[in-house]
C-alpha cells in the first residue's frame, strides 16, 4: 500500500470549510484514497473514498489532483462535532480482508 | 442490535489471566477484524477473518487468538494476559463479497483493557 503524509494537526473555525490535505506521491493506478475519522474514544468512522474523480457524499467532499499524488478532504461547514483525528489511507479496492493501515492522521480541532 | 457491538466496554485484568473480548455484528458482513490502538500509535491489525471458518494473522498477532464459528461473531482471546496488552481494542467488519471491497469498514465502540 502507498504511504501517506498528513499534517499532525489543524485548526478551523466553526461554520467554515475544513480542508484536510494528504500526500500520496507513490500511489499506484489501482489504489483508491480512503478517509476515516476517529472522534475521541470512539471507533473509526468511514467518510469517503475515491479513485481519480472528485467525490461528494453527505459527510464530505474529496478532491483528488489530476496526477493523483495528493488529495484534500473538505468538510464544507465544520461543526464542533467534527473535531476528530482524520486518517487518509491509500489501498487497492479489492485489497483483501487483511485490514487497513492507519497512520497518525491529522487532529482537526474546530474552534467555536 | 444495530451495527457492531463489543463487550465488555472496559476491563481490568490481572496478568496471567485469560480473557475473551466479544464482538458481534448484525449486518451479515463476511469480513471481520480486530485492531488495537495504543497512545501515540495508529490502529494496528491483530487478526482478521475473510469469512466464517477462516482467520488470518495481522501485524501484531502474538499473544492473541481468534475464531470465526459463524458470520456474526468474532471473539478475541488473550490466553495469558501481559501488561503490554493494555490497550483499546476495536472490532470491525466489512461487506466485501457484495461490494467487492474490503476497505469500507464499520467499527465497534471499542473495549478498554488494562492488564496489571
The residues with which A20 forms a beta bridge, in sequence order, are A73
What residues of chain A lie within 8 A of the CB of B101, using their CB?
93-94
Q: Is B5 on the interface with A (CB under 8 A)?
A: no
pLDDT tens, residue by residue, A45-76: 999 999 998 999 999 999 999 999 999 999 99
In chain B, DSSP assigns E strands to 4-7, 10-13, 19-25, 31-37, 43-49, 56-57, 64-66, 76-78, 87-94, 106-107, 111-115
* Least Cα separation, residue B8 to chain A (angstroms): 14
Per-residue pLDDT, A60: 97
Residues of chain B with pLDDT under 70: 1, 97-103
Q: Rounded to the nearest 5 degrees, what angle is found at the Cα of A103, between the Cα atoms of A92 and B52?
A: 55
pLDDT tens, residue by residue, A30-40: 888 999 999 99
What residues of chain A lie within 8 A of the CB of B44, using their CB?
102
**Do the Cβ atoms of A91 and A30 come closer than 8 Å?**
no
Per-residue pLDDT, B100: 56
What residues of chain A lie within 8 A of the CB of B108, using their CB?
43
Average pLDDT over every residue of A75-97: 87
Per-residue pLDDT, B102: 56
How sure is the predictor about A100, in pLDDT bands with cuts at 50, 70 and 90? confident
Q: Kindly tell me if the per-residue pLDDT of A95 is higher than 60.
A: no
Amino acid at each position: 500500500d502507498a504511504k501517506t503524509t498528513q499534517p499532525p494537526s489543524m485548526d478551523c473555525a466553526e461554520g467554515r470549510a475544513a480542508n484536510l490535505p494528504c500526500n500520496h506521491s507513490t500511489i499506484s493506478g489501482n489504489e483508491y484514497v480512503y478517509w476515516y475519522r476517529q472522534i475521541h474514544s470512539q471507533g473509526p468512522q468511514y467518510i469517503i473514498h475515491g479513485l481519480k474523480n472528485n467525490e461528494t457524499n453527505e459527510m464530505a467532499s474529496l478532491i483528488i489532483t489530476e496526477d493523483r499524488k495528493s488529495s484534500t478532504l473538505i468538510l464544507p461547514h465544520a461543526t464542533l462535532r467534527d473535531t476528530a483525528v482524520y486518517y487518509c489511507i491509500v489501498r487497492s479496492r479489492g485489497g483483501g480482508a487483511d485490514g487497513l493501515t492507519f497512520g497518525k492522521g491529522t487532529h482537526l480541532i474546530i474552534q467555536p | 442490535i444495530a451495527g457492531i457491538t463489543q463487550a465488555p466496554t472496559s476491563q481490568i485484568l490481572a496478568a496471567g489471566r485469560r480473557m475473551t473480548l466479544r464482538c458481534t455484528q448484525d449486518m451479515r458482513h463476511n469480513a471481520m477484524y480486530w485492531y488495537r490502538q495504543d497512545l501515540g500509535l495508529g490502529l494496528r491489525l491483530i487478526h482478521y477473518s475473510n469469512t466464517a471458518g477462516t482467520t488470518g494473522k495481522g501485524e501484531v498477532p502474538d499473544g492473541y487468538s481468534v475464531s470465526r464459528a459463524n458470520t456474526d461473531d468474532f471473539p478475541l482471546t488473550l490466553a495469558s494476559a501481559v501488561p503490554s496488552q493494555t490497550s483499546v481494542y476495536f472490532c470491525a467488519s466489512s461487506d466485501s463479497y457484495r461490494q467487492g471491497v474490503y476497505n469500507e469498514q464499520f467499527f465497534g465502540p471499542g473495549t478498554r483493557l488494562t492488564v496489571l
